[in-house]
Chains A and B, each alone.
Chain A
């Protein structure tokens, strides 16, 4: 009897077409939308990238890190370092941000992989604090008070001039548009890359390690290597995002760049309320997060308390997040990874 395997569903085919249209709209957005929309979208896209990588770590790799700010900060400082000290153009300098995060990630993993579960989480946090304290000693980049990107470096960086003339906008707006397009490219590459990884046999191994490490080893999965792959990939991507975020901010300080609230707590919130262990979850989560932030931004600490209460409620009511809830009700998967065997005698319908 002939068997075949497919991951596609009718919904995923429609989603692929809708996704392609959405991508075109997002690329064209600077031609139709105002500067504040572009800035909001930049924020959403960069948070989405951070959330996707944290989700890859925790949701697929089972590595619950609360030290992702180490890689955001390392990336951000690498950008400022290469631009200010070496005079590199900020756009290609973003690549160094990913590399700098990798440089921090290797010793971090070396220590943190000796720890499991909650100890791993605390370990990553401690390491991030150590990196923050070390960077605070770096006097050439402003020490504890931080520094700014030189105006001439950001003013005539790659593509800015071209965007100015093509869209007829001023330098500051052109910089925002460039940052937005870079963020869009990074977000698309991130989602595409993670989706590709999950569909390979490495993706299967990742899920197996998450579900049961000992059993995974016993069927030939190199569990140690999977952890390294996931941790380093996440660090690299988080470093790129960190560099990009601070390219747009153009002003850095250790407390901001290594903020556990901004770069890990919010990110965890996004993933948890959206739905951990799915690609769709962080997308839903970041939209909810942005909506809440826009609504509650004027209420100061009430805003944080509302986020906390909401996260607790969602964890209790829908442990798999808003997307998990929707997906369980409707069977909808925009990024299907489940391999469905068909043919032969598999015809009995499974219970959903």
Chain B
């Protein structure tokens, strides 16, 4: 069953076409990776799926419901969670309060009802020791983990990760991959944009390649990486 489906989705900023007639399906429980050169429109595609941007054309269907015109806030309530490429914590709130905002509003529950779940997410994302620290004081790795934890606190069915491994050391990256695998193993569908390819391919089952806003490849990661078109466009290799 498809959890998410895009049909002929387009988006332009003035004359610049950033998403060009994108169509693809994501099935329930899948992990899909998205790659593409800088400026290919990967983050824009995410913003269209989460509702932070509105599509000019096309339809976005989530769990069989047309969400193309639905606000970001409502899409979160229906089960779409995201992390931002540049971490966007609520800086003056503590780590725990960051999760509390997400859990109470994203699930429409009281603070008392989500306490145990928030603590559980903090343990799984290894942020529990920093629970009472203002988010503005976190390190880069901790900020990335907070992005992940905050998205998890809304208990999404579909989780969008935007370059969450970027800028981390190899050790940090491996630890984060473990956490993401664990989330995926619990049945959360994941779409993950990443430049760190080995991190991506160690988790995802399919790869989607974007270039100039167009989907130019979708399929098995090994086949995609081996294809001439991807090597030329994405890796810049003359074949």
Contact = CB atoms under 8 A, between A and B. Distances in A.
Interface of A: 1, 3-5, 201, 204-205, 207-208, 210-212, 214-223, 277, 338-341, 344-348, 350-351
Contact of A220 (B73, B116, B118, B122): B73
Nearest to A206: B101
Contacts of A3: 115-116, 119
Contact of A344 (B89, B104, B123): B123
Interface in B83-105: 84, 88-94, 96-98, 100-102, 104-105
A205 B76 CA distance: 15
Contacts of A345: 123, 128-129
A93 to B, nearest CB: 39
Interface residues of B, number: 48
A216 B90 contact: yes
B90 A215 contact: yes
A127 to B, nearest CB: 27
A211 B97 contact: no
Contact of A221 (B73, B111, B122, B128): B73
Given A216-B101, A338-B132, A340-B96, 16 more contacts: A3-B119, A5-B111, A201-B100, A201-B110, A204-B100, A210-B92, A212-B91, A214-B84, A214-B88, A216-B90, A219-B153, A220-B105, A338-B97, A344-B123, A350-B132, A351-B133
A36 to B, nearest CB: 41
B154 to A, nearest CB: 6
Contacts of B96: 5, 339-341
20 contacts: A5-B96, A5-B111, A201-B111, A208-B93, A214-B88, A216-B101, A218-B72, A219-B105, A219-B151, A220-B77, A220-B107, A221-B101, A338-B97, A339-B111, A340-B132, A341-B122, A344-B119, A344-B123, A344-B128, A351-B137
A226 B5 CA distance: 32
Nearest to B76: A220
B102 A220 contact: yes
B92 A201 contact: no
B224 interface: no
Which 6 interchain pairs have the tightest Cβ spacing? A220-B106, A219-B102, A215-B88, A211-B90, A220-B76, A220-B105
A222 B73 contact: yes
B52 interface: yes
A341 B112 CA distance: 12
B189 interface: no
Contacts of A220: 73, 76-77, 102, 105-108, 154
B227 interface: no
Contacts of B150: 215, 219
A338 B90 contact: no
Contacts of B132: 338, 340-341, 346, 350
Contact of B94 (A210, A222, A338): A338
B194 to A, nearest CB: 19
Interface in B56-92: 71-73, 76-77, 81-82, 84, 88-92
B131 interface: yes
Contacts of A221: 73, 101, 105
Contacts of A350: 130, 132-133
B91 A218 contact: no
Chain A CB within 10 Å — which of B77, B89, B94, B101 has the most? B101
A201 B105 CA distance: 8
A346 B131 CA distance: 7
Chain B CB within 10 Å — which of A3, A219, A340 has the most? A219
A142 to B, nearest CB: 46
A277 B134 CA distance: 15
Contact of B100 (A217, A339, A347, A348): A339
Contacts of B84: 214-215, 218
Nearest to B92: A211
Given A345-B128, A346-B129, A218 B97 contact: no
A211 to B, nearest CB: 4
A280 to B, nearest CB: 16
A221 B97 CA distance: 14
A204 B116 CA distance: 18
A218 B131 contact: no
A346 B92 contact: no
B128 A346 contact: yes
A222 B105 CA distance: 8
Contacts of B106: 219-220
A3 B119 CA distance: 7
Given A5-B115, A212-B88, A218-B82, A339 B97 contact: yes
